Structure 1
Amino acid sequence: MAKVSLVDLDVTSKRRPFPNLALMKLSAYHKSKGDEVYLNFPLIQPDITYASCVFTWNGRRRDGLPPEAIIGGSGVDLKAELPPEVEHIMPDYSLYPNVDFSMGFTSRGCIRKCPWCIVPEKEGQIKPWARIYEFWDRRHTKITLLDNNLLAAPNWRQTMEDLIAEGLKVDFNQGLDIRLLNEENLDYLKRVKASELRFAF
């Protein structure tokens, strides 16, 4: 049994932590192997250290990590990916005890090439990724979708139908592409439970 240290480099004294999806998946994977997993707990002597950084301005915080640490996240490496057996595992939501929602991607990539956005370089062309059942913890009535351009995804109808069928309250966290609105997807949006709709682009 290994001791695994997970380091969320975006957690600071000034920022309430938003759950790091990659770390939750790594936690689930290692716990399934019988390993002990610790988040942001520097007092242990770990066998393996993973660190994740979403925001570039926190990238410098990796300087305090052990040299053998495995580091990923868009804040430090746009090409780093989780292995498939980790990427498609149910996240370990207990890693962030105050989180009362599930989160994940049903699609990756985007059809746009906005000059300020890293998504085209990081994820490439838009493609289906998973159904909500891969990351939806049935104890949660709320779900956050991290899709970068859901309405452009080939599987957007399936995602909407799943959300409606399960009665989940959804947060389209990355916004919806207002240029893609039409009568069909507007009908779905009227039927899905969303506290608010954010439109981007």
Structure 2
Amino acid sequence: MLAAHYAADTRGGVRVKIGLVDVDAESRGRVTYPNLALMKISAFHKTKGDDVSWYHPLTSGHMDVVYLSKVFSEEYSRDYIWPIDADEIIRGGSGYAIDVVDGIEVHDKARDPDLAPEIEDMRPDYSIYEGFGITDTAYGFLTKGCPRNCDFCHVCSMQGRKVRTVARLGDFWTGQKYISLMDPNLTCSSDWEMHIGDLAKSGAWVDFSQGLDITAMSPAKCADINAVKWERIHFAWDRPWEDHAEQFRMVMNHLKMARHERVSAYVLTNKHSTHEEDIRRIMTLRELDIQPYVMIYRKDTAPSVTRRLQRWVNSPMIFWKTKSFDEYEDNYTRSRR
């Protein structure tokens, strides 16, 4: 995505004015996750001596190029609506390449090209997010790709089904206290031991933010993870017909200091499951002291009971103080009388 037009140094020393727009942050009114592509684009242009800043329609004035990056679909992030004064406007990211066809989200890779190699290889410019309170965390991919090809996920369309190494830790970590990994399936990498070894040596707190594959976990992999200062680990239980209870139990028995404050599992709803199947997965995870996190596929089509279920589960203070969803529903009903 967002292939920069100024990769070749043919401008004769001209200083180009570059504007950046984090469309997801603009839509939500806050930064929940920094945009990695924009950080790399910023780093690239700064090496060329360009003037890079966030674009503001009222104060930025005329720009040579404005880059807009959007990760999430229109359901979660609305497109940028404000006028842009620029010679060239470049839009990119998976959020501009997802359509709904017959009720199913479809990602069009042709509309979501990769960054140019000379930009992809840049160390992210974390300074652009310092004003948003992100000051001591490194973000990046060690690997890309996933072999699972789940029908609700766009990773295979975007990155392919083969898990491949795309970076070493030092390519995006510069000594920050925290590391947030964006790998979709590091667990299935043939370079697992190398990457885990790098993370362990870093001494930084690691958040496996996009999840580890519960089906690929083993006592040996748990031991590898225990050598890392891990802050949070996320797994997923997406398909209701797959019973992962024993795998989750094994993980909780082998990971050090494993408890629901540090271990969570995404639970996909409104795709292949009934309400009863959602409850079964949620309560099984709860019994194992794992924090469920309900994800709703196509939220605009979800029944109200699923939305209420999400509110209950994704509010940990309420979830762990309430014995069951029925009890939550009783309290919810009484509060609305």
- Identify the match of residue 37 of structure 2 among 16, 22, 38: 22
The normalised TM-score by structure 1 is 0.93
Does residue 152 (structure 1) correspond to residue 188 (structure 2)? The answer is yes
Aligned to 1:51: 68
* Offset from partner CA, 1:17-39 (integer Å, 9 cap, x none): 12100000000000010000011
Does residue 73 (structure 1) correspond to residue 93 (structure 2)? The answer is yes
Helix, strand or coil at the partner of 1:133:
helix
Aligned length: 200
Does residue 136 (structure 1) correspond to residue 173 (structure 2)? The answer is yes
Deviation at 1:191, TM superposition (A): 1.5
CA–CA distance in structure 2, aligned partners of residues 55 and 119 of structure 1? 13
Does residue 2 (structure 1) correspond to residue 16 (structure 2)? The answer is yes
Aligned to 2:291: none
Letter in 1 for 2:200: I
Letter in 1 for 2:80: R
Aligned to 2:220: 184
The normalised TM-score by structure 2 is 0.57
Q: CA 1:87–1:55 in 2, change beyond 3 Å: closer, same or farther? A: same
- Runs of 5+ consecutive residues of structure 1 not aligned to the other structure: none
Deviation at 1:181, TM superposition (A): 0.7
CA–CA distance in structure 2, aligned partners of residues 59 and 21 of structure 1? 19
- Runs of 5+ consecutive residues of structure 2 not aligned to the other structure: 1-14, 98-108, 238-337
CA–CA distance in structure 2, aligned partners of residues 24 and 145 of structure 1? 15
Query: Is this contact kept in 2: 1:59–1:76, CA < 8 A?
Result: no
Deviation at 1:60, TM superposition (A): 3.1
Letter in 2 for 1:5: G
Query: Is this contact kept in 2: 1:108–1:129, CA < 8 A?
Result: yes
CA–CA distance in structure 2, aligned partners of residues 63 and 121 of structure 1? 30
Q: CA 1:74–1:2 in 2, change beyond 3 Å: closer, same or farther? A: same
Q: CA 1:53–1:185 in 2, change beyond 3 Å: closer, same or farther? A: same
CA RMSD, aligned part only? 1.7
Q: CA 1:14–1:71 in 2, change beyond 3 Å: closer, same or farther? A: closer
Deviation at 1:155, TM superposition (A): 1.6
Higher helix residue share: 2
CA–CA distance in structure 2, aligned partners of residues 198 and 113 of structure 1? 19
Query: Is this contact kept in 2: 1:7–1:49, CA < 8 A?
Result: yes
Kindly indicate whether structure 1 or structure 2 has the higher relative contact order, using CA contacts under 8 Å at least 6 residues apart: 1
Deviation at 1:12, TM superposition (A): 3.0
Query: Is this contact kept in 2: 1:10–1:54, CA < 8 A?
Result: yes
Aligned to 2:247: none
Q: CA 1:50–1:175 in 2, change beyond 3 Å: closer, same or farther? A: same
